[in-house]
């Protein structure tokens, strides 16, 4: 049993690196886009708010698997023919953006309106109110749930094996197909995913404790 895992180790390692790479790209892209859309959702003009709200509600309402299939199998018909890896990153990013938007909305919403009013009264323009008054406070509310949500990106990335991306899940399936040792390999794979995600959860909890002294 152990022998099979050792034999498959280099192959699994490649898969693990793909999983990590896809997760990191997804998380970074979704963070940038999500924060912009999240700010638009809170402070944007009404039509823009409706668009972001609609986007977020629709994306969070459909299973991530359906979203991935839609991007990979459906979009080529509109002329956007993506390779499995690109489709996977696009699908996961869209899914994650919707979550980040909600994280941002929650974080900004938890700051008392008096803060914005005070910043207005001392004559700060909007960009500076956002960057110097709202953002530093909202950051503490945003980081713990966001980091916890990163585990969703890593877990969701296991589904991209179904698009043929050679991630950890895909590598495990391949090795199972060759060695006929499903239990050992699935347990080993579960342990790897657990290690990644549990460290993220621990990080999230540590941040939460770190910021808990601020009670607004």
Partner 1 sequence: MGYHLNFTLIWRHFDKLLSGLILSLELAILSVAIGCVIGLVLAVIYVSGGRALRAAIAAYVEVIRNVPLILLVYLVFYGLPTVVDLSYSATTSFVLTLSAYAGAYLVEVFRSGLEAVPRGLIDAGMSIGLTPWRRLVHVRLPAMLRIALPALSNTFVSLFKDTSVASVIAVPELTYGAQWINFNTFRIMEVYLVVTGMYLVTGYAILIGLRALERRYAIGG
Of the pair 32, 187, the CB lying nearest partner 1 is at 187
Nearest to 12 by CA among 138, 136, 191, 147: 191
Of the pair 35, 160, the CB lying nearest partner 1 is at 160
Residue 34 in contact with residue 104, Cβ under 8 Å? yes
Of the pair 63, 109, the CB lying nearest partner 1 is at 63
What is the contact surface with partner 1 in residues (CB under 8 A)?
58, 61-66, 69-70, 73-74, 77-79, 151, 154-159, 161-162, 169, 172-173, 176, 182-183, 186-187, 189-190, 193-194, 197-198, 201
Could you report how far apart the first and last alpha carbons of the chain are, in Å?
Answer: 54
| Shortest CB 179 distance to partner 1, Å | 12
| Shortest CB 152 distance to partner 1, Å | 10
| Shortest CB 137 distance to partner 1, Å | 26
| Shortest CB 13 distance to partner 1, Å | 17
Tell me how far apart the alpha carbons of residues 139 and 145 are, in angstroms, rounded to a whole number. 11
């Amino acid at each position: 049993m152990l022998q099979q895992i050792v034999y498959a180790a280099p192959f699994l390692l490649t898969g693990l690196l793909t999983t990590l790479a896809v997760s990191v790209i997804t998380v970074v892209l979704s963070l940038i886009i999500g924060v912009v859309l999240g700010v638009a959702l809170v402070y944007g003009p009404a039509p823009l708010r409706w668009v972001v709200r609609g986007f977020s509600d629709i994306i969070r309402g459909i299973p991530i698997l359906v979203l991935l299939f839609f991007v990979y199998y459906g979009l080529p018909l509109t002329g956007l023919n993506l390779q499995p890896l690109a489709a996977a990153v696009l699908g996961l990013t869209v899914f994650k953006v919707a979550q980040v938007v909600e994280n941002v909305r929650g974080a900004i919403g938890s700051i008392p309106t008096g803060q914005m009013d005070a910043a207005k009264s001392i004559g700060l323009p909007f960009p500076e109110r956002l960057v110097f008054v709202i953002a530093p406070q909202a950051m503490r509310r945003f980081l713990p749930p966001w980091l916890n949500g990163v585990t969703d990106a890593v877990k969701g990335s296991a589904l991209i094996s179904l698009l043929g991306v050679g991630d950890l899940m895909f590598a495990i399936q391949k090795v199972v197909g060759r060695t006929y040792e499903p239990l050992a390999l699935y347990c080993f794979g579960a342990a790897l995913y657990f290690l990644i995600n549990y460290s993220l959860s621990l990080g999230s909890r540590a941040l939460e404790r770190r910021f808990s002294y601020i009670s607004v």
